[in-house]
Structure 1
């Protein structure tokens, strides 16, 4: 009987990583910013975000929970494939995960990342990491074939899980009038140049913003229908970094909260659709900084949970794995609006600093 994940013999969850103790914070930040010439003084300022939570990022525990949820869903479907884990910037490192996979007898891996959207930092950089890790273990005689699930932000299950979280949060508003409520969809800001080149090299670009705007619009329309409201959703950004001279996507969530308060808004619903779990950019940038801004200007902030291990999200991730395996076998797979190819087109989400090899693409 054919396994629905054939021809793959293991699944690998690939994530960003984070420190798990105070002494790991600076080494982690140096790995994240390697090659950018950022002084330790600036990194120490960023490190305070982590020390605010005892020097431990939530992301690794959330990845462990997601792996357990994926395992449970695979077991429910009687799909016997291990779920492995590798990080870009902290243990378990990606190249070590590849070594362990090979030692366990695995030769063809299917990778899914914890970044849902299309842009350099959300997709191609992970493909570069995969190319680096494959090259590193190849020097040790380890050969692996690796494919990747494409960006899954447009998938129906991701939308359904985010919608459910938004509706649940908005049900607790106790009848606040629509003209006093703002619905803000939040994602990680990126340089405008990165957004301009996000997507295939066809000149259209801005795929990162377009994917977010499409999801925000769909959630707003359906939430209004379910709840009988008439709110207008907006896309805002957090976690901006880089020099002030470099343009990044705006408006910042804190600036927008201040503007809304001045215009008479009393409640701001913040939905972090750009993130799949409540990691540092959520618990610090939103639960700490944005909450402080809201308190200062007299606005109630209602923070919507990320999709995390929501059953709709986990089920859809396994659907994505199964569909990618079907593609590898040459079978047709379901289509949906906004679907991205599993194998990236030439010029897709380029590295604007230097040309580097990347797996799972045609260039």
Structure 2
């Protein structure tokens, strides 16, 4: 999610955050209700350990959040993000100013386009003839339109690549719901062709290429500090905060979101700076102060480091896959300003983006599933994995 997404979710005071790749519960379904059959079946097909049938027309669907492409898009986009929540227009207008500060354009769409182009090139180089489609939740190209296009093109099975590497309701479960919503939209049209079956690719937080991309970026960031500060600089991994209630039900492995982030950050540090310790902290919190979220916030943590006598810090946003607004605002502006006020030398590592090793790992994940690899978490999810229970609404 980018910076203005954070503000939009804060406006609506949702029980679930909306990080990059987050979604909204399908219309008509309350968060404590049983998901649709399409959701329970991971988008319409149980993951298989058998190789993809010869001759089946497969495709890749890159599934993202979406973002405005210009000033005229900002308000309609924010209305999409907060639809059904009854947010006063004046509150939306206040959030819109964050986007207008950046010309009304979020970089998230351009970054997804770059990732798609890199993946297409990687597939072509590997001799894999698969088309790549793109669908978003909140702005064009919408996932429903991408699903219809795949159906029109005769695609029989889609491998869904979500732009989030980790577990959690917002980071994984709601992608399944996006697919379910697109399938329902197509099936409700009696004149539409049959749509593809689908499966989401598994979590890739520990994929070798994702780790390498982040490790390379961390090494570069360390090199940006004055030489005399590099060895003692504190390494700080960041990720999107989520409510404690969500973290408590993050999947069959317990606190999967935190555990996956700890694992990813450890792998990155082991590769870039062996033997050094690191801290995992949080950013981009939204929602009312009365609701507990994962802490500490990165800015609070920087203050604590300065009080303890630290002189330099390198922040690496391992919880995100690209440098969208949330990264460049929360870290390059707010966290950097906090560090400057405290007298801390500061460097921020890049995200995986289109790093060649990361793109190669995505191709390898796809090949693993097409070859009938054993389904893993993110693809083979239990019915209520990462599903956050909330009190039912009072009867009318």
- Same fold by TM (over 0.5)? yes
Q: 1:157 aligns with which of 209, 215, 218?
A: 209
Distance (Å, rounded) in 1 between the aligned partners of 2:281 and 2:378: 27
Moved more, 112-121 or 177-186: 177-186
CA contact (8 A) 1:258 1:297 kept: yes
CA contact (8 A) 2:200 2:378 kept: no
SS at match of 1:176: helix
Distance (Å, rounded) in 1 between the aligned partners of 2:208 and 2:100: 37
Distance (Å, rounded) in 2 between the aligned partners of 1:130 and 1:287: 33
CA contact (8 A) 1:149 1:321 kept: yes
Cα 1:36–1:77, aligned 2, differ >3 Å: closer, same or farther?
Answer: same
In the alignment, which residue of structure 2 is the partner of 1:312? 357
In structure 1, list runs of 5 or more residues that go unmatched.
356-363
In the alignment, which residue of structure 1 is the partner of 2:186? 137
- Alpha-carbon offset, residue 231 of structure 1: 3.3
CA contact (8 A) 2:111 2:322 kept: yes
Q: 2:258 aligns with which of 179, 195, 209?
A: 209
Distance (Å, rounded) in 2 between the aligned partners of 1:159 and 1:44: 39
What's the TM-score once normalised by structure 1's chain length? 0.87
> What's the CA shift string for 1:4-29, capped at 9, x where partnerless?
99745211100011111122222222
Cα 1:177–1:280, aligned 2, differ >3 Å: closer, same or farther?
Answer: closer
Q: 1:352 aligns with which of 389, 392, 395?
A: 389
Higher relative contact order (CA 8 A, sep 6+): 2
Answering whether residue 335 of structure 2 is matched by residue 283 of structure 1, we say: no
Answering whether residue 162 of structure 2 is matched by residue 123 of structure 1, we say: no
Answering whether residue 191 of structure 2 is matched by residue 191 of structure 1, we say: no
In the alignment, which residue of structure 2 is the partner of 1:113? 162
Distance (Å, rounded) in 1 between the aligned partners of 2:232 and 2:182: 51
What's the TM-score once normalised by structure 2's chain length? 0.80
SS at match of 1:105: coil
Q: 1:11 aligns with which of 38, 60, 67?
A: 60
In the alignment, which residue of structure 2 is the partner of 1:101? 150
> What's the CA shift string for 1:324-352, capped at 9, x where partnerless?
1122xxxx45x9xxx52522123210043
Cα 1:43–1:191, aligned 2, differ >3 Å: closer, same or farther?
Answer: farther
- Alpha-carbon offset, residue 3 of structure 1: 8.7
Cα 1:45–1:195, aligned 2, differ >3 Å: closer, same or farther?
Answer: farther
CA contact (8 A) 1:18 1:60 kept: yes
Q: 1:79 aligns with which of 128, 153, 156?
A: 128
- Alpha-carbon offset, residue 241 of structure 1: 0.4
In the alignment, which residue of structure 2 is the partner of 1:170? 222
Answering whether residue 298 of structure 2 is matched by residue 249 of structure 1, we say: no
CA contact (8 A) 1:157 1:316 kept: yes
Distance (Å, rounded) in 1 between the aligned partners of 2:228 and 2:287: 38
CA contact (8 A) 1:5 1:322 kept: no
- Alpha-carbon offset, residue 102 of structure 1: 1.5
CA contact (8 A) 1:119 1:208 kept: yes
CA contact (8 A) 2:168 2:386 kept: yes
> What's the CA shift string for 1:87-143, capped at 9, x where partnerless?
011100000111111222222211111011000000111111111111011111342
Give the 5 Å matches for 1:259-274: 259-274=304-319
Q: Across the two proteins, how many residue pairs are aligned to each other?
A: 339
SS at match of 1:314: helix
Distance (Å, rounded) in 1 between the aligned partners of 2:232 and 2:260: 27
Distance (Å, rounded) in 1 between the aligned partners of 2:52 and 2:129: 8
